[in-house]
Structure 1
Amino acid sequence: MNNPSPQGLTLAELANRLGARLNGDGERIVTGLATLSEAGPDDITFLANKAYLKYLADTRAAAVLLHPDHVDDCPTSSLALANPYLGYAELSHLFDPLAARNVPGIHPSAVVSDQATVGEDVQIGPQVVIEDGVWLGAGVIVGPGSVVGANSEVGEASRLHANVTVCHGVIIGKRAILHSGCVIGGDGFGFAHDGQCWHKIAQLGGVIMGDDVEVGSCSSIDRGALGDTIIEDDVKIDSQVQIAHNVQIGEHSALAGCVGIAGSTKVGRHCMLGGGVGLSGHLTICDGVQVTGMSLVTNSIHEPGVYSSGTGAMDNAQWRKNAVRFKQLDEIAKRLVRLERASRRS
């Protein structure tokens, strides 16, 4: 399915925006973006993975964004770029239907405190609540039903989709994207036990998010217990991720869906955590670490690289046999030590 651009863009305009080399008619107008196999004569498409090269010869697209190596194989106009997937990422924004709906103004049903500061060209949707002391930078968009708590800041050109909750005392940088249902700055999971019941610990810190951070739907980033939870620049967080109090995430890191990070753990820069990864509390993960999906990390990692835990899926009968062996590993190890000692004595 393509995403139409009502105005249309010429291939020359697109090539200029992307810094691509145009092969074909620069005056040709395209109005949509689609896949190689689904594109029509008014669409532009892209080839970023060689696995889809088989669809290139039969594409009906007006033009294809691709690597220079594939220009001669293209049956239509092309825009050649060294990194066509990065070009596609930029191209996608030109055909985003949300952009056409960005009309500055405050909906009549919104509740905006007289003590809030609202920058130029801000859009505040229906049923939004903006509390005392809030600062919204220029071009901020706050979607329907969202709440921005007292004394929080949202940097310029940031977007809160529908039903986002930003709690009190949260600082969000520029160009952030917060998807529906996420909660930024809720209480951390802090309780003291007296031997019979739990006593809540007031969470007195906040959350500080850098520029260009994106948070997926229904994810939670808890406020710090005393200091702040810190999410640095260009961190990308998928849906249903839980980040506990006082966690720090280094810049340019990415967390896939259902990651869970316990309190006070520090994740370095340029790290990638696969889906379902769990990090125990009070750990340090150095820069450049990749943890594969469903892994559990219980110790700090001090060397960059790829780390995994657990076992991959296998036939259940085989897994049950292996599970028995897991329970025997300690005894097997002890027996091996005894045999090695006996061997050395003989």
Structure 2
Amino acid sequence: MTHASHDLTLADIARHLNVAFEGDGSQPIRGLATLKDAQADQVAFLANRAYLKDLAVTQAAAVLLHPEHGKSCPVPRLEIDNPYLGYATLSQLFDPLPARDIPGIHPSAVVAESATLGEGVSVQANAVIEEGVVLGDDVIIGAGSMVGADSIIGEGTRLHANVTVCHGVVIGKRAILQSGCVIGGDGFGFAHDGGQWHKIAQLGGVVLGDDVEVGSCSSIDRGALGNTVIGNDVKIDSQVQIAHNVTVGDHSALAGCVGIAGSTHVGRHCMLGGGVGLSGHLTICDGVQVTGMSLVTNSIHEPGVYSSGTGAMNNAQWRKNAVRFKQLDEIAKRLSRLEKNHRGQS
């Protein structure tokens, strides 16, 4: 449930979405809610047919829905071809966060003299801006965040509290970095001499495009030599690990706990479900969707949906299947011998 810091009317909502509406345009709208929970001063939305049952009994002031469901709506409606996108648009009107964005440098923040700050920049309590940093206009550096030396952050980007941007990182415009994420930490680079490991200095950087979002506690490692590169409009969920020299193409999305090993290239418009793992040095072409908990060990050169792993099942059934899995190689050999004998007898 969300609430606006100021009242809007139903007519304001419709105007913002550029859609027609039925009902009292002066009706105050003070928030958004689900069909089931909405009150008489809130707007709800229907984006999934599974919730049609809730539409029939909703108490919302109005409902955002596709025209095909308009006749089923018992309250005023806002018809739009993509209700979920409409909901995303409206959610920005009710976000209380921008009201707290006060430009200026908090007295407890530490900003190097050589740093360059644009207009309207906000550096909040206990943040650290190191030497040579460039912050574009309207950048927000949250409390306790650190921006390493010679990093560049584009206009309108927000770092929430306790974000770490290491040295030599480039971040585009309007990016959002959620609390606890680390951009530009050292990649996992070590050489082994047969007895112990020797650290390889990570000499590259990280480049994030425009409109990128990185979820809380995610890590994007700097490159060993060249850069780790994240394209424009890439959305990265919480607790995602992206290793050194990975590239992720524009408009791709990575759900929680995805892990991508070093030097793998992910194309444009790809979607990696939660828990997906990609081995190193692979190429994933544009338009690939990998479903949750899949492990990808070979490159993918054709767009489409890919899966590995098995869905949950009754433990007794799983134990039987696990035994069968260990027998597959022998079963395949026996089948091959049978087919060979059958061909010999034909």
Q: TM-score, normalised by structure 1?
A: 0.97
1:59 partner amino acid: T
Q: Output one character per residue of 1:139-186: Cα deviation in whole Å (capped at 9) or x when no partner.
A: 111111000000111111111111000000000011111001000000
Partner of 1:174: 173
1:3 partner amino acid:
T
CA distance in 2: counterparts of 1:30 and 1:315, whole angstroms: 48
Match of 1:302 in 2: 301
Q: Which residue identity does 2:47 align to in structure 1?
A: A
Q: Which amino acid aligns with 1:10?
A: T
Q: Deviations over 1:258-317 (max 9, x none)?
A: 010000000011111111111000000011111111111111011111111122222222
State the Cα distance separating 1:70 from its structure 2 match.
2.3
Match of 1:75, SS state, is coil
Aligned partner of residue 9 in structure 1, secondary structure: strand
Equivalence for 2:99? 100
- Aligned-residue offset at 1:75: 2.4
1:249 is matched with: 248
The equivalent residue for 2:30 is: 31
Corresponding residue for residue 184 of structure 1: 183
Letter in 2 for 1:253: S
2:13 corresponds to? 14
Deviates more, 1:33-42 or 1:86-95: 33-42
With normalisation by structure 2, the TM-score equals 0.97
1:74 equivalent to 2:66? Answer no
* Structure 2 residue 332 is matched with structure 1 residue 333: yes
Question: Following TM superposition, by how much is the alpha carbon of 1:341 offset from its aligned partner in structure 2, in angstroms?
Answer: 1.4
Partner of 1:132: 131
1:82 maps to a residue whose letter is: D
Contact 1:207 1:222 in 2 (8 A): yes
Please identify, of 136-145 and 47-56, the stretch whose mean Cα deviation from structure 2 is larger. Answer: 47-56
| Kept in 1: contact 2:35–2:58 (CA 8 A) | yes
- State the AA in 2 paired with 1:339: L
Deviates more, 1:245-254 or 1:95-104: 95-104
Distance in 1 of aligned mates of 2:326 and 2:7 = 65
Question: Given that residues 292 and 308 in structure 1 are in contact (C-alpha distance below 8 angstroms), is that contact kept between their aligned partners in structure 2?
Answer: yes
1:196-275 maps to which residues of 2 (within 5 A)? 196-275=195-274
Q: Is 1:293 matched with 2:292?
A: yes
Tell me which residue corresponds to 1:276.
275
Give the superposition deviation at 1:6.
2.7
Corresponding residue of 1:113: 112
> Partners in 2 of 1:244 and 1:47 — Cα distance?
39
Structure 1 distance, partners of 2:327, 2:37, is 55
**In the alignment, residue 312 of structure 1 is paired with which amino acid?**
G
Provide the residue aligned with 1:87 in structure 2. 86
Match of 1:58 in 2: 57
CA distance in 2, matches of 1:8, 1:291: 43
Alpha-carbon distance between aligned partners in 2 of 1:142 and 1:71, rounded to the nearest angstrom: 44
5+ residue gaps, structure 1, are: none
Contact kept, 8 Å, 1:19 with 1:81, in 2: the verdict is no
| Distance in 2, Cα, partners of 1:125 & 1:220 | 22
Taking the aligned partners of 1:327 and 1:165, their CA distance within structure 2 comes to: 45
What's the secondary structure of 2:6's corresponding residue?
Answer: coil
TM-aligned CA deviation for residue 219 of structure 1: 0.4
Instruction: Report deviation, 1:71.
Output: 2.3
Distance in structure 2 (CA, Å) of the matches to 1:109 and 1:255? 35
Q: Is the 2:5–2:96 Cα contact (8 Å) retained in structure 1?
A: no
Contact 2:178/2:214 (8 A) holds in 1: yes
CA deviation digits over 1:86-125, x for unaligned, max 9? 0000100100111211111111100011111111111111
SS of the residue corresponding to residue 52 of structure 2 reads: helix
Structure 1 residue runs of 4 or more that deviate by more than 6 Å after TM superposition = none
SS in 1 for 2:191: strand
**Counterpart contact for 1:277–1:296, Cα < 8 Å:** yes
Aligned mates of 1:268, 1:241 — CA distance in 2: 17
Give the conservation status (yes or no) of the 8 Å contact 2:70–2:79: yes
Aligned equivalents of 1:312 and 1:78: distance in 2?
Answer: 39
Distance 2:315 2:40 in 1: 50
List per-residue Cα deviations over 1:227-265 (Å, max 9, x = no partner). 000000011111100000000001111111101000000
Task: Give me the whole-angstrom Cα distance separating, in 1, the residues matched to 2:275 and 2:340.
Answer: 42
Task: Indicate the RMSD between aligned Cα atoms, in angstroms.
Answer: 1.1
1:147 alignment counterpart: 146
